[in-house]
Each structure stands twice: as C-alpha cells, then as structure tokens.
Structure 1
Amino acid sequence: MPRTQAPATGSAADTIALLRALIREACVNDGSVGSGQEIRSVRVLQRFLADAVATGRVETHVLESAPGRASLVARLRGTGTGTGTGTDPDAPSLGLLGHLDVVPVDPDGWTRNPFGGDLIDGEIWGRGAVDMLYLTAAFACVLRDAALAPEPPRGDLVLIAVADEEGGGEYGIHWLVRQHPEVVRVTEALSESGGMRMGRHVAIEVAEKGSAGRRLVIHGKPGHASIPYGAKSASYRVGEVLQRLGEVMPAAQLGPLWNAFVSARIQDPALAERLRDPVRLDAALPHLGGIAGYAHAVSRITMSPTVLRAGMTHNVIPAMGTIDLDIRTLPGTTDAEVDHLLRVVLGPLADDIEIEHLRGWAATTSPSDTPLFAAIERAVAAVADAPVVPIMAAGGSDARVLRELGIPAYGFGLLGPDWSYERYREGVHGNDERIDVESVTLSLAALQRIVADRLA
C-alpha cells in the first residue's frame, strides 16, 4: 500500500496532470505501422508547452515518420555555443529522451480502466504510467519551467518525445537521427530504465545489452504423415535442438558493473562472495529471490527460443523447421563470437543446422565519470539521501541510439524507497500498471536539480 502523503502541488501537480492526460490518449503500439498514433500525445504536449513556446525561447518541431507516427522535439535555447553566440564554449546541450507509445493490454487482467489515468490513493493507474510516461511528463514540465524562468539556461535543454520505442524505434528515434539529425542534436541525455532501489542505492542505467537475433534452420526428410516410417520429421529435430538449448547455457562473464551491483544489492557477505565467482555464481542464483532473473541476464549472453515453425499441412511430415532465438549480448561481443558460441552450445547438432542472422545491434555503454553522471549523483543524494549504483539493463531502450552516436546517455529516475527492481519489472508491461505520486515527485525534484546543475 502507498504511504500517506500530502497532495502534490506546483510543478509536481502539473506533472501528474500531464501524466494522466498522456495515459488517456492510449497510444498503443502493436508493432504495425498504423498503430501508436502518437500524434494524439504530441498534441497534448503542445498544449502543455504553449506558454513556454509563447516566450519565444522554445523552438518546437512535430515530425511524422508515417501518418500519425509523430514525435515532438522542443528545444529551449541557451545562451552558450548552441545558439551561435559563443558566450560559453563548454555549455552542454542536455537531451530529455522520452517515448509516447505504450504496449498493448489485456483488459481482463486489469482491475481498473488501463487508459483511465485514475488517481487513487496516491497512485496513478494506467498503461505506460511506469514505462515511461511519468518521466516523459516530468521532462516536459522541467523544460516548461526552465523556459518560464527569468533567466535562460547557459546551454540548450531539449525534450525529445518520440514515437515507436516499444516497436524498436524505426518510426521514432532511428528515423529522427537519420532524417533530422540537427533537430535532435544533443551532447548528453537522460532517458528511462533507472530509479529503482538496489538496497539503499538508486540504480542508474549506464549500459544496455545488445541483441543478436538468430534463426536456426533445421532440415529433415519429408513423407506422408500416414506412413511415418523412413521419414525424418523436422519437428522432432526441432525438439532435439530445443532440449539442447535448455540444457546448455553460456557461462557467466562478469563485467565491470557486476561488482557494484553485488555490493549494492547483496547484504550477505558469503552470498556476495559466491556471486563474485563465475564458477559458483549459477549455484547461488536460487538464493537471490526476485532479483535472480536480472542477475542471470546481466552476467552472461542469453539465448531464448521465441518463435517455432515446422510444417504447412497436417498430413505432410515437415522437411524443414526453424527456431528464432532472442540472443542478448554483453558489451564487446561480436557477431562472429555469437555464432561460435551458438555452435558450441548446439554441440553435435550444429553441423546439420544453418544459422541465419536476424536483426541486431551491439551492446552500448556510457562512462560513469562524466559531468552529467556526477550531476545525477549529487541530485539523488540531495533529494533522497542515497548513493547511486550504475547498472546494465537486460533489455533495450532508445538511449542506445544516442550512445551509438557517442553521446553519453543514462537511464534516469528516482522512485520511492519501496520500489525494488522486482517491483519496477512487475510494473513494466504488466497488469494494473501504476506509479505513486511520491515517485513522480522525487523524480521531478531530482531532475530539476540535474538541469540546474548542468545548465544554470
């Protein structure tokens, strides 16, 4: 249950009202080009930012990659180099990267309207409340308040509210950096996937695993299904491969962020020692409770069979089957290394299997010794009296696109003390998604400090 708290006022109340309005637009992205229709939420943001735009300090662009697939970029011009005045050659251009789309819902799994934006007992309910409309709303509020302040910032502050993050970003951030690179130009950025608690630490994402999708093509010998003798069904061979994938897993590879995670989250010294040993780590995973899945994922390359295909009609023994693998890679892993590892995992089955490459991207990392990361540390300490811990995300976000361009980007947030990593993961894409007013208020307060730290 949420703790008793006073109603939000001022900018926090505005952020919550904006969050509720964005939830109600129901920009559901099912992966098809016609879904999402983020133009609805773009219009909400335009109305919210109207006073800021009226100052003449904010330049906005509404950019559509396809009908209705709109992104909004609002740039508050600073007095530094970004404006061409040359008054501050070190002035940063701080990007606030949020997305407007949300994943589909199963209404039968919800106890409230998933697109009602209800505020009940200090919690805002709705699809996207956690992922990541609360941050997108906070980003917009901070930009508006900075534009209405008596003095402009020394560097640019840029809200980048994009379409299609949940569908991979082809109609959002990828399209923007290809087609409108100057509009989205920043030197550093904040985005999603941070703020959950790891013990007394606040997690800030500095890295994301990569993706190296593969399709295994498996051949058999066809025949009439009524006379199976002498045929060799590809379906059985698919089963053999799945069994092998389930029995053999890639070994742990403990990167530079692993020790910080263990130190922040694991209080038992003996268990922490086992987790720092790649040989003993797997046997220790069952003792981690709800964090075990995350620990397993970020300590190795993972391979998950997701799509199986074999056969086209019921009376023909299939001659071919395929298995699609979602493979998530660690920083520095090459495609050649993925293929080699996959063949090692498949063992004696590998010689008869073709490996096809599906869509993928490299893991990305931002350093944790940048001025922006230091500003995050100071803000979290001031607002929550807590240290931060840099972490790697098992999944992906739009921040990786900026990292691929050499721009430091961090998954930000400051959720309440009860928001463990496990609670955060349950909220993302889950039923009854909701976020409490306290977490929105904390995140906004920390964000305000970061913007002042970097741009005042």
Structure 2
Amino acid sequence: MTDAVTPGKTAGIPTAEDEVVQLCSELIRIDTSNTGDPDTVTGEREAAEYVAAKLAEVGLEYETVESGAPRRDNVFTRLKGANPDRPALLVHGHLDVVPAEPSEWSVHPFSGAVQDGYVWGRGAVDMKDMVAMTLAVLRRFAREGYVPPRDIVFAFLADEEAGGEYGGRWLVRNRPDLFEGCTEAVGEVGGFSLTLDEDRRVYLVETAEKGIAWMRLRARGRPGHGSFLHDDNAVTKVAEAVARLGNHTFPLVLTGTVQQFLDRMSELTGLEFPQDDLDGAVRKLGPLGRIVGATLRDTANPTMLKAGYKANVIPSSAEAVVDCRVLPGREKAFLREVDELLGPDVTREWVTDLPPVETSFEGDLVEAMTAALLAEDPGAHAVPYMLSGGTDAKHFVELGMRCYGFAPLRLPPDLDFASLFHGIDERVPVDALTFGTRVLDRFLRTC
C-alpha cells in the first residue's frame, strides 16, 4: 500500500502499523497468566502499567482501576468525538492470558519472538494482538490530534480468561460510569479471514456467542471399607451421571445468527447445508467447521473429577465439573434436559453462569466494518457468526450494549487459526497484524 492511501498518513508521524508488531511483542513478554486461582494468578498490573505508559507518552489522559482484588488492574481512556449527541462506542480488549507450559513450545511462550513472519507467544491471538492494534491506532490518533466521529471509550481489561469476576463483570457492576453513553461495543474473536479462493475471503464478524455455564455436580453416599459390598457409593453416582451427560447429544437448534451464516456461506461457496445432515455438511468447512459445529447445539463436556483420599476407603462424597455452553434462547430447556440426565442422586450448582449473547448483523457500525475491510481487501465478504466460547461482551450486554467481535486479521489460507486459541505455539502473522491495524484505523475513523 502506498503512503497516499494509508489511513492517517502524515509526514513525520509514524503510522499505527509502524509500531504494532513491537507493541504486540512487548505485551506478550509480560506474563499475565490467569490460572483462575487467586492464590496463583499473576495479575495484570504490569501490563496495565505498560499500556498506561504508552498512553501517557502521547499525551492521553487515562484512568487505572483495580477491579475487586489486588493487582487486577484495568486501564480506560476516552476520546471525545466530533458529535457529542451520538452514543459512544466501546473498544475493549483483555490483558490476561491462559497459562502456558514452556517445555511444550517451539519458542518460549513469553518471549514475544518475531521470526518466520510471525509474532510468537501466549496471547498472540488471544488477545494481545488486538490490544496492540488498538493501542497503536489510539496512539496514532493522539499524535495527529484526530477527533473521531463520536466518543470512543478504550478499555484494557483484567480477568477475561476466568469469566471477568475481577474484570469486566466487576467494572460493569461497580463502575458503570466508565462506560457512560456506550451503546455498542467491539472486542475479540471476529474479523479474521477464511480464504475461499485466490480472489475471495470471508471475514467472520461475531454477532453472537453461547452462554457459559460451568457446573459442579455433587453426590453423597455411605462411606466404608473398599473391600465390602457397597450399594451407596458416591463415586459411582457421580460417574454414572457424568457419563450420561457427557454422552448426551442435545437437539439441533438453528439460531438466527447461525442460519444467516449458513445462508451466506451457501451463496459464496455453493455448498448446501441440509438439516438432515448438517453436522456432515459443516465439516466440509474444514477447521472452521469445529467452531461452527459447536454452535449447532448445546454442549456439556465433563472436565474435572474429584473424590476420595485413599484406595481402600469409599468416600462419603464425590464431585465433578462440567463445562456447559448454551445457545441463545435455550437456557430453560437446557436445564430441564440436564436435570433429567443427572437424576435424583446428584445435585448441581453453578461455578460460572454467563448468559448467551446475540445481536443483529445490520446498522451503521456493521457497514463501517464492511467498508473498512473492503478498502484493504477488495475480495472481502463480511459474514456474521456465533462464537462457541465467550468474551467480556457477556458483561457489557448488562448495560444494554450491542456487542460485536471484530479484531481484523487477513490470515494465510493454510493457517489453522482456531487451533491457536489457548494452543501450543500460539502466533499471529506479522502481515495480519499490520493489515488489521489499517482496517481498525479506517473503521474507527468512520464508526
């Protein structure tokens, strides 16, 4: 791309894409591993201080907020827009990452290495890439004194990887003033490309996500000696309930977002998605099929078991944890099915319960996303989709915001992007970072 059409190119002022790779690499080097355990969590303070310093460096005012626990820091800055009568836009990203085991990686997960055309490390795609792109564009705006069309609130947040109890959820419930006037929000896990052919790419924009319900199951029984006949075994009760739940296939449900995705993909590819073999048809989408397939029905996957303290002692209680993901509109029906499967001997309680999210793929904001993509990639087709996981959007809907996932990346056709989230050798292409920064710059100038 020539300087003449680079967004915001001004003589003597670095563009956002000039510094985004360095910002991403430096953010990755800050270990913000979130174990979910308050006793072992690293905390986001160092990363928040890094962000704050980068904002201060270009003269931006900011506020740092500790969200309910020591070192769980968040950074906010608001750019005043040209039209104060318009509602504000929230752009959010999280500073924490899931843990990584260095011995399993080709490079150290907190090295931020830039090699082979990629930036490597934990958080490269989830989501220090988007944090770096946002920070780069924000710094560019500040350097040139750019005034966006409306107020934009930029939030760099803690604790997303453990549900936001010490991040987004705490902030929404304790500091809603930080989001004053925001009616729309843009965050992670959307805007990335899927190559159809040499001239066409689909860019998936997240407009919906399944609910997260981490559920603890518990059974009680009569303790005793392991050598005796025993007909009231807590371990057996939990194991049988977990097996029933884990082997159960919930009914196929086509939400509005998924139907819209399938219709658009059918138009673009010629593939058909018949309901009598929808699972098989979706698998034809390749790696993307794993994401889409998980949004066709509710899921309940057992992930943890806990019981006993000695091989020859039958314990009085046993527990299991199940990771449940629930489609919009399915909450009550899902719980009815779960309770039928568990039976009378097993109780359940929520460890985490975050709602499904869904909004429409229409309006000025969607048009701005589409236009920004097309300006940088004439072969772009923006398509809505549902995320099988969850983001901080679940908290912002409590304040009435319409939430989208739009962290734009033009990816190599052969990159299995979905496998990099929480995966070994997580990495983001350098070209994708600079592309995404240009798109984000254009988008925020027209939002």
Residue of structure 2 equivalent to 1:21: 26
From 114, 117, 123, give the equivalent of 1:122: 117
Superposition deviation, residue 167 in structure 1:
1.9
Whether contact under 8 Å (1:257, 1:392) holds in the other structure is: yes
Mean CA deviation greater in 63-72 or 229-238: 229-238
1:115-147 CA distances to partner (integer Å, 9 max, x unpaired)? 111111321111111111111111112122222
- Correspondences of 1:61-72 after superposition (within 5 Å): 61-65=63-67, 66-72=69-75
Q: Kindly indicate whether residue 169 of structure 2 is the aligned counterpart of residue 205 of structure 1.
A: no
Residue of structure 2 equivalent to 1:432: 425
Whether contact under 8 Å (2:292, 2:386) holds in the other structure is: no
Superposition deviation, residue 375 in structure 1:
0.7
Q: Tell me the distance in 2 between the aligned counterparts of 1:205 and 1:434.
A: 21
Task: Mark the runs of 5 or more structure 2 residues left unpaired by the alignment.
Answer: 1-13
1:349-383 CA distances to partner (integer Å, 9 max, x unpaired)? 62333333442021011222232111111111221
Superposition deviation, residue 289 in structure 1:
4.3
Q: Kindly indicate whether residue 262 of structure 2 is the aligned counterpart of residue 262 of structure 1.
A: yes
Please state whether the residue corresponding to 2:125 is helix, strand or coil.
Answer: helix
Residue of structure 1 equivalent to 2:324: 327
Q: Tell me the distance in 1 between the aligned counterparts of 2:230 and 2:173.
A: 54
Instruction: Supply the AA of the counterpart residue of 1:395.
Output: G
Whether contact under 8 Å (1:59, 1:76) holds in the other structure is: no
Q: Kindly indicate whether residue 352 of structure 2 is the aligned counterpart of residue 351 of structure 1.
A: no
Number of positions where the alignment pairs a residue of Structure 1 with one of Structure 2: 424
Instruction: Supply the AA of the counterpart residue of 1:210.
Output: G
Residue of structure 2 equivalent to 1:5: none
- Correspondences of 1:76-95 after superposition (within 5 Å): 76-81=79-84, 89=85, 91-95=86-90
Q: Kindly indicate whether residue 395 of structure 2 is the aligned counterpart of residue 394 of structure 1.
A: no
Residue of structure 1 equivalent to 2:11: none
From 36, 41, 51, give the equivalent of 1:31: 36
Q: Tell me the distance in 2 between the aligned counterparts of 1:112 and 1:222.
A: 49
| Cα RMSD after superposing both structures | 2.4
Whether contact under 8 Å (1:98, 1:161) holds in the other structure is: yes
Residue of structure 2 equivalent to 1:40: 46
Whether contact under 8 Å (2:273, 2:281) holds in the other structure is: no
Whether contact under 8 Å (2:272, 2:281) holds in the other structure is: no
1:31-84 CA distances to partner (integer Å, 9 max, x unpaired)? 23362332211222223223432xxxx431011123322111011222432xxx
Residue of structure 2 equivalent to 1:339: 335
Whether contact under 8 Å (1:143, 1:157) holds in the other structure is: no
Do the aligned partners of residues 187 and 246 (structure 1) sit closer, same or farther apart at CA in structure 2, a change above 3 Å counting? closer
Q: Tell me the distance in 2 between the aligned counterparts of 1:215 and 1:123.
A: 40
Residue of structure 1 equivalent to 2:104: 109
Do the aligned partners of residues 25 and 243 (structure 1) sit closer, same or farther apart at CA in structure 2, a change above 3 Å counting? closer
Residue of structure 1 equivalent to 2:273: 273
Q: Kindly indicate whether residue 100 of structure 2 is the aligned counterpart of residue 100 of structure 1.
A: no
> Structure 1 length as normaliser, TM-score?
0.86
Do the aligned partners of residues 306 and 61 (structure 1) sit closer, same or farther apart at CA in structure 2, a change above 3 Å counting? same
Q: Tell me the distance in 1 between the aligned counterparts of 2:230 and 2:419.
A: 49
Do the aligned partners of residues 287 and 52 (structure 1) sit closer, same or farther apart at CA in structure 2, a change above 3 Å counting? closer
Superposition deviation, residue 249 in structure 1:
1.2
Residue of structure 2 equivalent to 1:299: 296
Task: Mark the runs of 5 or more structure 1 residues left unpaired by the alignment.
Answer: 1-8, 82-88
Residue of structure 1 equivalent to 2:234: 234
Superposition deviation, residue 152 in structure 1:
2.4
